[in-house]
Structure 1
Amino acid sequence: MIAILLHGFTGDRTTWDEVCRHWQPELPAGDQLLAVDLPGHGEGPPVQDGWRANLEAICERVGPALSQAVVVGYSLGARVALGLLAEGLTRRAILIGVNPGLPSAERASRQRADAAWVELLLQEGVEAFAARWEAQDLFATQTRVAGAAAAARRAVRRHHRAAELARSLTHMGLAAMPDYRAALSAAAARAQLVVGAEDAKFRALAVAAVSLAPALPLHLVPDAGHDVPLEQPRALARLLARLSQP
């Protein structure tokens, strides 16, 4: 088994380090963990025009192993993992804090919201953007995270290039992604949902997904909000060690 780990927006592959540290000792012999930088992040490729083109860039970066891997994604990475699963580009996916897609009626509103973030990035830069991004209610539970881990995550966020983050929002944001809700239901036997128990928004999205596909497994991580890899790396590693096995 090879597990491909995909980070969230403004993260990079190093944001999986603590999870991998706890997961590695539980890996069966021959199994591998591979954390990958997404387009526009870390050492990843430039963001391409359009959602599908970015999926193809990720496939090219990972190589043939992707088709037989279990792809583990968080937030943006979870949406990418779902896209890879829905498009038949990988075999299994574990989706942490995923939004599987927007109804048509909500897409224009999300495009306007993302455009406002893009404007902030391009006009005021990464530092101003990061401060505003971190202040969202979605991340309120992160105030409990130990100082060193929280500081490391803030540093990663600020290390990015404003133009590439802006392109990521434009071409890989939720408004740019197809509505994969039906595809998630169809792939229920090959997908797992993971959500922080205190992440009210994404817990509701997960419950809605399960209501459409009762066979879709849903796992709650106690004492975690949206960013489960940051807030509960040990508990998440133990869960992933179990879920990733055939």
Structure 2
Amino acid sequence: MESLTVNVRDINIHLKRNHIGAEKKVVFLHGFTGSSSTWEEVVKYLPPTIEILTVDLIGHGQTSKPIDFTRYYVDEQIEDLHSLFQLLGWNHFTLVGYSMGGRLALAYADKYGVDKLVLESSSPGLVNEEERVRRKHADELLAERILNEGISAFIDFWENIPLFHSQKSLSFEKQQAIRLERLAGSELGLSNSLKGFSTGIQPSYWGKLKDIEISTILLTGELDQKFCDIAMNMKNVLPQVKHMQINNVGHAIHVENPELFATIVEDIILKED
């Protein structure tokens, strides 16, 4: 595994590469409060025939945390990723995004295209303007809470929201690993991520789904009803789509069952269309 930091568009992006030189390639984008480390268990189960790139998104992990929250807007992050892929010489790859990272993956694929798109527990955003305003306001309040109360108090709150209830059944060791990854986050980075990349700020992609002709796989956990419903609605619009609902897991499938998640992703990557 190679761990490195590269300068792209005046920010430093931290990334990890495994199985360098393999013909098939995959990129993994983590969710809010995560980092490239969230994929380590999944990476262990993927074969050396697939080169794997995991990226710390802006505001997370060891990647830069700019003071200006507008630098976190989705259009900026799309260009960051594209410049990174060009720098690495990656033109053909499967793009996998989880939750917040799935929103970014969808936005990237809409503009630049990818070979295949895998969206885990992801949404194209909010259509209703009132809903967008409410979400923007809620995320701004949460962003201020992080700055005022600190990362530890925020993580105490965050790990107990209903979205992650199913993770309470994980082993103590795994729960502690997740908590430590979250606690390694930055108050400024997470706060600005909420301000600049909230679903209340990011444009809705619902209207664009019908034009995304990329082979897309939607993965949701059966215990995460909200995102199962979103995926079913997306399935009705995307031209080339398959929805897989995974048993006995919630929002973070790759955390709750990394071996199964890796097997699914491997099958998707190696399957010839």
TM-score (norm 2): 0.84
In structure 2, the residue matched to 1:99 is 123
In structure 1, the residue matched to 2:94 is 70
- 1:214 Cα deviation from its structure 2 partner: 6.6
Tell me the alpha carbon deviations over residues 94-152 of structure 1, each in whole angstroms, 9 at most, x when there is no partner.
00000111114221011011012101101101111111111111110001111211111
The answer to which of 186-195 and 102-111 deviates more is 186-195
Contact kept in structure 1, 2:219 and 2:246, CA below 8 Å? yes
In structure 1, the residue matched to 2:17 is none
Counterpart amino acid of 1:232? Answer: N
Q: How many residues align?
A: 242
- 1:227 Cα deviation from its structure 2 partner: 0.7
Identity of aligned residues (%): 28
Q: 1:55 to 1:189 in 2, by over 3 A?
A: closer
Mapped to 1, the partners of 2:256 and 2:207 lie a distance apart of 30
Counterpart amino acid of 1:59? Answer: H
Query: Structure 1 regions of 5+ residues with no counterpart?
Result: none
Query: Structure 2 regions of 5+ residues with no counterpart?
Result: 1-23
SS in structure 2 at match of 1:71: strand
- 1:196 Cα deviation from its structure 2 partner: 0.9
Q: 1:196 to 1:154 in 2, by over 3 A?
A: same
Mapped to 2, the partners of 1:189 and 1:4 lie a distance apart of 16
Counterpart amino acid of 1:32? Answer: E
Instruction: Give 1:131's match in structure 2, choosing from 156, 163, 167.
Output: 156
Mapped to 2, the partners of 1:117 and 1:211 lie a distance apart of 33
Mapped to 2, the partners of 1:96 and 1:192 lie a distance apart of 8
By relative contact order (CA 8 Å, sep 6+), the higher-ranking structure is 1
Contact kept in structure 1, 2:96 and 2:118, CA below 8 Å? yes
Q: 1:224 to 1:71 in 2, by over 3 A?
A: same
SS in structure 2 at match of 1:2: strand
Q: Which has the higher helix share?
A: 1
Contact kept in structure 2, 1:83 and 1:180, CA below 8 Å? yes
- 1:46 Cα deviation from its structure 2 partner: 3.0
Say whether residues 1:36 and 2:59 are aligned partners: no
SS in structure 2 at match of 1:23: coil
Tell me the alpha carbon deviations over residues 55-76 of structure 1, each in whole angstroms, 9 at most, x when there is no partner.
2122233435443211111111
In structure 2, the residue matched to 1:59 is 82
Q: Which has the higher strand share?
A: 2
Mapped to 2, the partners of 1:144 and 1:238 lie a distance apart of 22
SS in structure 1 at match of 2:97: strand
Aligned runs of 1:1-246 on 2, under 5 Å? Answer: 1-24=24-47, 27-28=48-49, 31-47=50-66, 48-62=71-85, 63-105=87-129, 106-213=131-238, 215-245=240-270, 246=272
